[in-house]
Amino acid sequence: MKEFFRKVFNTEFLPMSEVRKIKVWLVMGFLLFLTILTIPYSTFFDYSVLMKVITISGLFVLMGVMLLLLRFSKPLVAIQVSIIYSILLMLYYTQGVNSFYAYIFFYISLSIIIFYQELFSYLVYGTLVVILGVYYTLTFREGLVTSADITGAVYIYIAILVLFYLINLIQILHNEKIYTDLNYEWVKMNHVIHNYQEDILYYLEDVRQDAHKSPMYEDLEFQKAAFELSRFIAEQIMKDGREIVNLMDLYVYIHEKGLLSILDNQEISVAMKKTSNMLGKYLLSENTDMFSMMINFYVRFQDSDNNMKNRYSYKIEDLTDYNDEQIIAFCLIYSYISHEIEKDREWNQIERSEDEIKVNIFDQVDLQDFFNPQVIAFYNDNYDMIVKYMTNKK
């Protein structure tokens, strides 16, 4: 029980499969409580004794099925069974007694479905519960509405049930959108990071070598912190946190020997290779998911440069006062445009003469927006030389 409550209060550290298991356990406890209360209360129902025994026994059988599903790590199936359990219990009440208390079970079933926050389950089972609720309200209105109620009270019952369903549907859709946006942002950021994280790795390695420092995974303080933190977290969700220490030893060992050397070693067991392969995407010194997470986390808290007057200026003279540097910058820009942009138009050069190919690539650009008069004059005076040596030609 202590372990279970630790998981409940630390669900942010758990994967989704574990969170689903906890939800099923909580729902099972609630349903078991309702089922136990149902046993004495069922004496008021208009069922035969045999029907009551079969129904209650069937509910306990379903409870055992859910236990087996959780035992074999099938939380998604267990969720479906628990929802069906709640609907069966709801039908047992609504068909057995005609009263407001039976009407409440429609909300109980919907609340259980909402608790799981599974969109597909809510659309299927939630819609079914609402349809049954509307049918029950219209068919057995005598047990819900008294002579003292206002006219049309039965439709108020229906409207409240439908609104309850729709409001929670919007809330689940909103959560799904947030979850999808977060995943999209994560994938997008990883794609951006992947384009330059190889350069970052090389840069960090150069900095480390210049500083004559050992790799981070060899640092004793890092190892101590990693071991203690992993054991602390493991003890929140497991009976014994010492098992994680062996995993951390293997994690450091993979850094030292390399993942490929471990996977190619015939003397290492298959189980250890399998675990090593799973840990491979969390290595610190490779282009892995772990490195992407670290960079992603770091850039979110990295301060940007202070606002500069010429930060978004397109004039070269705002970046340097020296004419020779401005000319070099101009030549670099011209060379880039010629090689990187104009090369995409090579497919059209079949119908163009050599003189047309050498046409001024700045014909459509007002150079005064980017360069000072001296640089423009240099370009005009040395146009043939620039075209000869800096144009993209085969």
Q: What is the Cα–Cα distance from 155 to 25, expressed in whole angstroms? A: 36
pLDDT of 350 reads 46
Q: Tokens 């910058």 label which residue?
A: 329
Closest CA to 222 of 251, 261, 262: 251
Give the dihedral sign, CA 247/251/257/259. Answer: positive
pTM of the model: 0.54
pLDDT of 309 reads 65
Q: What is the Cα–Cα distance from 99 to 141, expressed in whole angstroms? A: 9
Which amino acid belongs to residue 213?
Answer: K
Long-range contacts of 87-93 (CB under 8 A, 24+ apart): 87/125, 87/128, 87/129, 88/55, 88/58, 88/59, 88/62, 89/31, 89/34, 89/35, 89/38, 89/59, 90/129, 90/132, 91/132, 92/38, 92/42, 92/45, 92/55, 93/38, 93/45
With a CB cutoff of 8 Å and minimum separation 6, the contacts of 298 are none
Q: What is the Cα–Cα distance from 242 to 247, expressed in whole angstroms? A: 9
Q: What is the Cα–Cα distance from 381 to 389, expressed in whole angstroms? A: 15
Rounded-to-10 torsion of CA 366, 372, 375, 379: 20
Q: What is the Cα–Cα distance from 283 to 191, expressed in whole angstroms? A: 18
The helix-helix angle for 323-336 and 373-381 (nearest 10°) equals 60
pLDDT of 83 reads 92
Whether residue 282 contacts residue 251, with contact meaning beta carbons closer than 8 Å, is answered with yes
* Segments in the chain forming alpha helices (H): 2-9, 16-41, 49-71, 75-96, 100-116, 119-121, 127-139, 141-144, 153-210, 220-237, 243-257, 259-263, 270-279, 289-300, 323-336, 354-357, 373-381, 383-390
Per-residue pLDDT of the chain (394 residues), as tens digits, is 566 556 555 655 566 778 888 888 889 999 999 888 888 877 777 778 888 888 888 889 999 999 999 888 888 899 999 999 999 988 888 876 666 777 888 899 999 999 888 888 899 999 999 999 888 888 877 767 654 566 677 888 889 999 999 999 999 998 888 888 888 887 887 677 777 787 888 888 888 888 888 887 888 888 888 888 888 888 776 666 777 888 888 888 888 888 888 888 888 888 888 888 888 888 887 888 788 778 778 777 777 667 666 666 777 887 788 888 988 988 888 888 877 665 555 545 545 455 554 456 677 677 887 888 888 889 888 888 888 887 765 4
Q: What is the Cα–Cα distance from 295 to 198, expressed in whole angstroms? A: 12
Q: What is the Cα–Cα distance from 319 to 329, expressed in whole angstroms? A: 10
Q: Tokens 């026994």 label which residue?
A: 57
The domain ranges of the chain are 2-181, 216-300, 316-390
Which amino acid belongs to residue 201?
Answer: L
